[in-house]
Amino acid sequence: MRISQLSAASGVPIPTIKYYLREGLLPAGEQTAATRAEYGESHVRRLRLIRALLEVGRLSIASIRKVLAAVDDENLSMHHVLGTAHYAIAPEIDSHPGDEDWQRARAEADRLIDDLGWQVDPEAPTRDELAQTILTLDRLGLPATGDALRPYAEAAVNLVAEHEINTIPLDGPREAAVEALVVGTIVHGRILDIMRRLAHESVSARLFGIDPAENAGPES
Amino acid sequence: MRISQLSAASGVPIPTIKYYLREGLLPAGEQTAATRAEYGESHVRRLRLIRALLEVGRLSIASIRKVLAAVDDENLSMHHVLGTAHYAIAPEIDSHPGDEDWQRARAEADRLIDDLGWQVDPEAPTRDELAQTILTLDRLGLPATGDALRPYAEAAVNLVAEHEINTIPLDGPREAAVEALVVGTIVHGRILDIMRRLAHESVSARLFGIDPAENAGPES
């Protein structure tokens, strides 16, 4: 297809497509004449993925380039490609390896992951995220030990193992898997947070014996 | 205690305490002389809550005033006080009641909450949040029906009913309950998100048969 058709098929404007081509995010089309190139389905898929990384993942162009390089690297297993995407969408955190409190929190995070029997790379930045949140809990005087965090770990792993992993198309093109992972992690994370707050209200209403009719709107 | 002792007990600097007094967030102490006031434990508790709302909840002074008014209103049940705090920390969203897509998404959200048998106020802003995320899923071409969202609802309600509700001290001063709710909702929400991404990595490593030794750091 021509660049105009690629634009129509992907919903990405032609100047943006040209920008991605210049930045090397989108591979060049097949040159069929001096001013003419042919694009295929792989270009449509790649554009979908770039949009998801940009609009849902809110990644920088530099981070997108890193994720796409992993997608294109035939030597990387699917597990490592997905891992690259996961690490790219994780929030940046300030680790303080020299700080004593930080080391304690990080050791607590590592111990918890070990106790759970989870297989997580020792260099995963997610471990630092967990350490930072343990520090926050500590600072607020809230329980931050493995016992306090275990219910969250169990809820998470059940959800992932029984449901989420099946929503990622692992047998198709890598672009599709990475797109599903990024969008799923972010948008379903938002869903889970909303459900949790809705569930809080419902459980509280039951606990305090709120009459459902009292909840039936302003006219009741 | 004197204002200097209140500052020491709460960790809040004196000028900040004076600011809260002027803004009416903190009730005045008992005037014991023209330039001297006595403060008590309730002031320490109130300062802790203000700090939690400000630093963890990132609420504006206006929103904090609303939450504190609910805490102080003897006519409101604990359920409604907690609800006020929940709604205050929810992200602002743009609802578009005139828009047809919006109405469809909102109806889908309401239907899902009904099907779950959850007791949620018809005016809860959380319903709009759910509708907005359903719209996002739709726009991305991802499944957004009740069936697709139910696993998240189930994970959330189990976590809340079996664990989270018990972490809120419901039989003490209301300030303590609201503080635990706000801090718990936000920081434990972060924990849940991190656990979910850690679980993803672990489940993926198992699925793709990654050798744990391969994960044992750069020297392996």
The CATH number of the domain holding residue A58 is 1.10.1660.10
Under the banding of pLDDT at 50, 70 and 90, the label for residue A220 is very low
Q: Which residues of A touch B164 (CB under 8 A)?
A: 151, 196, 200
Q: Do B152 and A191 touch (CB under 8 A)?
A: yes
Q: What is the mean pLDDT of residues A113-117?
A: 95
Dihedral angle computed from the Cα positions of residues A101, A116, A124 and A71, in that order, rounded to the nearest 10 degrees: -160
Interface A–B counts its CB contacts (< 8 A) at 234
Optimal mutation site among B79, B200, B203, interface A, most CBs of chain A within 10 A: B200
Given A24, A45, A65, which residue is the final one in a domain?
A: A65
Stretches where chain B sits below pLDDT 70 are 213-220
End-to-end distance of chain B based on CA atoms, in angstroms? 60
Q: What are A170-219's pLDDT values in tens digits?
A: 888 888 899 888 888 899 999 999 999 999 999 999 998 888 766 544 43
pLDDT, position B219 = 38
CB contact under 8 A, A215 and B119: yes
Average pLDDT, integer, range A53-60: 88
Same domain, A209 and A111: yes
Using the 3D structure, point to which of A23, A41, A65 is the last residue of a domain.
Answer: A65
Residues A80 and A111 in one domain: yes
Residue A157 and residue A94 share a domain = yes
Domain boundary pick from A48, A65, A82: A65
Whether pLDDT at A97 is above 80: no
User: For residue A143, what is the nearest residue in chain B, using CA coordinates?
Assistant: B167
Mean pLDDT for A90-96 is: 82
Same domain, A45 and A141: no
Structural domain of residue A47, as residue ranges? 3-65
Q: Please check whether residues A176 and A197 belong to one and the same domain.
A: yes
| Chain A residue with minimum CA distance to B130 | A194
Q: Is B91 on the interface with A (CB under 8 A)?
A: no
> Quick check: B203 contacting A, CB < 8 Å?
yes
Q: Is A173 at the interface with chain B, CB within 8 A? A: no
Q: What is the mean pLDDT of chain A?
A: 89
Domain count, chain A: 2
Same structural domain, A57 and A70: no
CA distance A71 to B185: 36
Same domain flag for A188 and A214: yes
Same domain, A178 and A207: yes
Residue B188 contacts A where some CB pair is shorter than 8 Å: yes
The band of A68, judged by pLDDT with boundaries at 50, 70 and 90, is: very high
**Residue A23 shares a structural domain with residue A55:** yes
Tell me: do A95 and A127 sit in the same domain: yes
d(C-alpha A47, C-alpha A23), whole Å: 13
Q: A101 vs chain B: nearest CA distance in angstroms?
A: 18
Contact criterion met (CB below 8 Å) for B61 and B25: yes
Does A66 have pLDDT greater than 50?
Answer: yes
Structure tokens at B210: 């990654």
Which chain B residues have a beta carbon less than 8 Å from that of A164?
Answer: 151, 196, 200
Tell me how crowded residue A114 is: count the other CB atoms within 10 A of its CB: 11
Same domain assignment for residues A120 and A92? yes
Do A60 and A76 share a structural domain? no
Expressed in percent and rounded to 5, the helix, strand and coil fractions of chain B are 70, 5, 30
Complex-level ipTM: 0.88
- Structure confidence at residue A218 (pLDDT): 41
Cβ of A152 within 8 Å of Cβ of B188? The answer is yes
